Amino acid sequence: MQYFDLTSSLSEVETYLKEKGLLQLDEGVITIEKPGEGNMNVVLRIKTNRQSFILKQSRPYVEKYQQIEAPIDRIAVENEFYRAIQNTALNAHTPKILHFDEVKHILLLEDLGTCEDMVTIYQKTAISEKELEKLISIAALIHRAVIPKSFPDNMEMRQLNHQHIFVLPFMKDNGFSLDTVQNGLQKIAEPYKKDEALKAIIHNIGEKYLEVGDTLLHGDYYPGSWMKSDDNLYIIDPEFGFVGFAEFDLGVMAAHLILATSKKKYLKKIQSKYEGEIDEKLMTQVAGIEIMRRLIGLAQLPLERTIEEKTKLLKKAYKMIML
Ligand SMILES: Nc1ncnc2c1ncn2[C@@H]1O[C@H](COP(=O)(O)OP(=O)(O)OP(=O)(O)O)[C@@H](O)[C@H]1O
Ligand SMILES: [Mg+2]
């Protein structure tokens, strides 16, 4: 059995889990559900009569858009990331790894239970001080982790992200009509696609993104990777993790807080609370690029804003990049 999905028979999944020594003799699979929204991978919640697991499997393509190829080893990166931060204070903020199957590209993770990802902040247009402080301190803990020598360079995933962050959004003819997202969006994006000075800065930071750095990064530090329970905050989905520069994670985090709230103050807040040396200009520029690419790139967010509001956000982002 190569792949499991929502239509797999309970007994097949049960046999697999038993083979891996994950079930007790009297334990059986009762249900298989989808735990939440995701695009890239197969993610299943498997409930037995004793416990509940999360099974995540990478395939050689994007699960939701199966004609798009994707690096199969991304699940191994996720596994390596969780292993690198094991036995640190991050234990309290990440799911435990229960099993990794290198052959079938399956990671079995602790089920975090009733959690909700934080993409709701785009509608709420706010984040609590407590949550913000947690997110900053979790980022700092990740960035302080001791990096195993064998940590994968994750270059294929970075190349993919590089295209979507630094290249395609700023290409004139990228084959993606922004008016299909929202009428008028194409027009407000055009000046940025033509601005050579802006594009030169973005190009250079894109090159830096592809270099080897000295800091373990989550690589996708945005509300879709932040999970909230009643009394805790968790970080999941480190498949874009790599050894790079801290300003990347921090800039991306700031960008999403600014997109959600329209307030630039989050840059300063993060800079003042983060425990570690950072290049504030670089972080601000990364944030500006992330804001722009989320507005005029292919990876759109559930962000309902008028064209006027998006125009203002783009102007803000432009200033941040041209700092
Ligand atoms: N350990 C966990 N415990 C509880 N729920 C989880 C866990 N891991 C993932 N989920 C749920 O499953 C969803 C998808 O998981 P994840 O983001 O890891 O998948 P993905 O395919 O990489 O998604 P994306 O395409 O957004 O990158 C999450 O948003 C969350 O709701
Ligand atoms: Mg993912």
Residue range 63-104, pLDDT digits in tens: 998 999 999 999 999 999 999 999 899 999 999 999 999 999
Residue 1 clears pLDDT 70, i.e. is over it: no
The pLDDT value recorded for residue 70 is 95
Q: How far apart are CA 314 and CA 289, in angstroms?
A: 10
User: Where does 116-321 sit in CATH, by number?
Assistant: 3.90.1200.10
Question: Which ligand is nearest the CA of 117, by number?
Answer: 1
Measured from the Cα of 220, ligand 1's closest atom is 27
Q: Is the pTM of this model over 0.85?
A: yes
In short, whether 219's Cβ falls inside 6 Å of ligand 1 is: no
The pLDDT value recorded for residue 87 is 87
The string of pLDDT tens digits covering residues 187-245 is 999 999 999 999 999 999 999 999 999 999 999 999 999 999 988 999 999 999 999 99
Residue 315 clears pLDDT 90, i.e. is over it: yes
In short, whether 108's Cβ falls inside 6 Å of ligand 1 is: no
Residue 115 clears pLDDT 60, i.e. is over it: yes
Measured from the Cα of 42, ligand 1's closest atom is 21
Numbered ranges of CATH 3.90.1200.10 in the chain? 116-321
The string of pLDDT tens digits covering residues 245-303 is 999 999 999 999 999 999 999 999 999 999 999 999 999 999 999 999 999 999 999 99
Residue nearest to atom 26 of ligand 1 (CA): 38
In short, whether 54's Cβ falls inside 6 Å of ligand 1 is: yes
Pick one of 3.30.160.100, 3.20.20.70, 3.30.200.20, 3.40.50.10190 as the CATH number of 10-110.
3.30.200.20
Numbered ranges of CATH 3.30.200.20 in the chain? 10-110
- Candidate of 33, 37, 40, 43 to mutate for ligand 1, largest count of ligand atoms within 8 Å of Cβ: 43
pLDDT band at 146 (very low <50, low <70, confident <90, very high): very high
Mean pLDDT value across the chain: 96
Averaged pLDDT for residues 27-49: 94
Measured from the Cα of 63, ligand 1's closest atom is 21
Question: CB under 8 Å, gap of 24 or more: what pairs does 311-318 form?
Answer: 311/188, 312/262, 313/258, 313/259, 313/262, 314/188, 314/189, 314/192, 316/258, 316/262, 316/264, 316/288, 316/291, 317/255, 317/287, 317/288, 317/289, 317/291, 317/292, 318/192, 318/198, 318/288, 318/292
Which sign, positive or negative, has the C-alpha torsion 213, 237, 118, 207?
positive
CA distances to 1, 11, 47, 97 from 50, in Å: 24, 16, 8, 18
